[in-house]
Homo-oligomer: A and B are copies of this chain.
């Protein structure tokens, strides 16, 4: 289960705010991009999954710590590690780093939903080992 995945993310103007640093909610976007690439690396095509199996994902809860600010033009590394998985939801440990500095840490629980009813359903096999 302890498989790590990381994605490089560049900070653009759209990610910053007038406080001069990256807007706090932008990190949730960065972390979702990393989970999307994690899924792709494990062979999950979300478009195909939704079209054929009518399964989509939703974030259900998150504990997040913003430790240090990122700034415009920073090159960040965003990790995703599946920490726990079972039934209808999986829990990721994620970090956003700049070189060796940890900027943001989060624990993110993601559920599989039936795309028609938005009710929980079984996670695809990619989440289970």
Contacts and interface: CB of A to CB of B under 8 A. Distances in A.
B24 A59 contact: yes
Contact of A61 (B13, B46, B64, B72): B64
Interface string A13-28: 1101111110111101
A13 B23 CA distance: 8
Interface residues on A, range: 35 or more
Q: Which of A17, A25, A69 has the most CB of B within 10 A?
A: A25
Does more than half of chain A's interface fall in helix, strand or loop, or is it mixed?
Answer: mixed
Contacts of A101: none
A118 B65 contact: no
Interface of A: 10, 12-14, 16-21, 23-26, 28-29, 32-33, 36, 45-47, 56, 58-66, 69, 71-73, 115, 118
Given A14-B25, A19-B58, A46-B73, 17 more contacts: A13-B17, A13-B19, A13-B23, A14-B33, A18-B19, A18-B71, A18-B72, A21-B58, A24-B32, A24-B58, A25-B25, A25-B28, A47-B71, A47-B72, A61-B63, A62-B62, A62-B64
